[in-house]
Amino acid sequence: MFAGQIDHERSYHYVRLFFNETWYATHYGVEINEAFAHYLRTCRTNRHNPNHQFDESFYLAFYKDVREQVEIGRFLCGFEHYVVRGRFEDRIPRHDLEKALRVRMPSLLQPVGFDQASRLAARLRPIPSISTMRDEPVLWFLIPTLNPDIFFGGYRSGLELAASLLESGRRVTFVICDDPNTDRDYAMSVYQQSKLSRMLEQADVINIARPNALLEIAPHDRILAYSAWEVCLARDLARRTSGKLGFLVQEYEPIFHHYSAEHALVAEAYRIPHFPIFNSFGLKDYFVQHRLGIFGWLDWKIQSPASIMPSSNTQWCVCRHRRRST
C-alpha cells in the first residue's frame, strides 16, 4: 500500500488515534467536541498541529518529499504522512537540534578526531612500572607488536639489533605496547630454527595489555623505543634510569600522518630528550639539515663513533645495516 495509493479511511483511524482533542481545543480556541472536525477542515491550509508532540510546519518544511506529496493531494497533511509512514521511517515529528543535524549534517556530530580520542588515550596510557635495585641491567625494548607478518625493513633491523645484544650477553626484554593479542609464540612458529626464533626464546616478553603487567626498572637499565609512539610511552620509564632514552630512528614519522592529533603527538616525540640510533648516515644528515630531533638544540657537529653503545659524551650514533653472508 505504501508504494501505491493511500488507504485514507485507515489512515484517518490513525490520525484520530494520535489526535489530542483537549490540547487542540485549548490551543486553538475551539469546542472540544468540534476539535477533530475543525482540524480536518483547516490542517491543510492553516497547518495546525494535532498535538503538542507534532509540528506540522516544521515537518513540511524539513521534509521536502512530504510537502510535495501533500501539495498533490496524496496526503491530507504532514501528520497523516507521519502516522502512516514517517514514524516507521524515524522521521522527526518536531524540531530537535541534534536529530535535525544527524539527518542533514551528520558530520557536525562527529567532529574530526573525536572518534580517535579513546584510541589515542588507550595508546598513550602510561606503562605500569616501579623502581628496583636489581644489579643486572636490562634493555627494555618497547615495540608495537611481535607480529611476524610485519618483520621486514626497520622492524627486522630492530630485532637483529636485539639479537646481537643478546649474543653479547645483555639481557633484553621486549615490551609489546600496541597489540593485546600478540605474544612470542606466533613469531617463533613462523621463524622456526632461525636466529630470530632463538632470540625470542632467550628474551623476556611482556605485553602491557595483560593483567598485572608491571615493569621493574633499575637505575642501570636502558630503555629503547622502536618508534615515536613508543618514545611517548618510554619517557616516564627512562626517568627511573640513569641513562638516556634510546630511539631507533628509521624515518621522520610525522610525514606519514595528516595534520591532526596524531601528527602533533608523533612530532612531539622527537622533542623528548633521547639518544637517537639512526639507520643510515643519509637519514642522520636529513635530521641535521632540517634541524629535527636532537639537532634542534644540540651542537650537531659532534662526531659519532661507530659503536652502537656510545660513550657518555656521545649524542647520537648510526647503526648500519649489513647483509649476512651465507
pLDDT digits (tens, 9 = 90+) for 93-129: 999 999 999 999 887 777 666 667 888 888 899 999 9
Helix (H) or strand (E) holding 171: strand 171-176
Nearest one of 174, 179, 180 to 140, comparing CA atoms: 174
For residue 5, pLDDT beyond 70: no
pTM of the model: 0.65
pLDDT score at 303: 41
pLDDT digits (tens, 9 = 90+) for 261-282: 889 999 999 999 999 999 889 9
The whole-number average pLDDT for the span 214-221 is 96
The most confident of the ranges 49-53, 259-263, 312-316 is 49-53
Query: Where does residue 214 fall: left (phi above 0), alpha (psi -120 to 50 degrees), or beta otherwise?
Result: beta
- The b-or-e profile of 222-258 (16+ CB within 10 A means b, else e) is bbbbbbbbbbbbbbebbebbeebbbbbbbebbbeeee
Cα 234-239-242 angle, rounded to 5 deg: 115
Query: Where does residue 174 fall: left (phi above 0), alpha (psi -120 to 50 degrees), or beta otherwise?
Result: beta
pLDDT score at 286: 93
Domain boundaries, the chain: 8-109, 119-318
The whole-number average pLDDT for the span 78-90 is 95
3-state SS class at 247: strand
d(C-alpha 207, C-alpha 189), whole Å? 18
Would you say 24 and 35 are in contact if contact means Cβ atoms under 8 Å apart? yes
| CATH architecture of the domain formed by 119-318 | 3-Layer(aba) Sandwich (3.40)
pLDDT digits (tens, 9 = 90+) for 140-160: 999 999 998 888 778 888 888
Helix (H) or strand (E) holding 235: helix 228-238
Nearest one of 219, 252, 256, 251 to 238, comparing CA atoms: 219
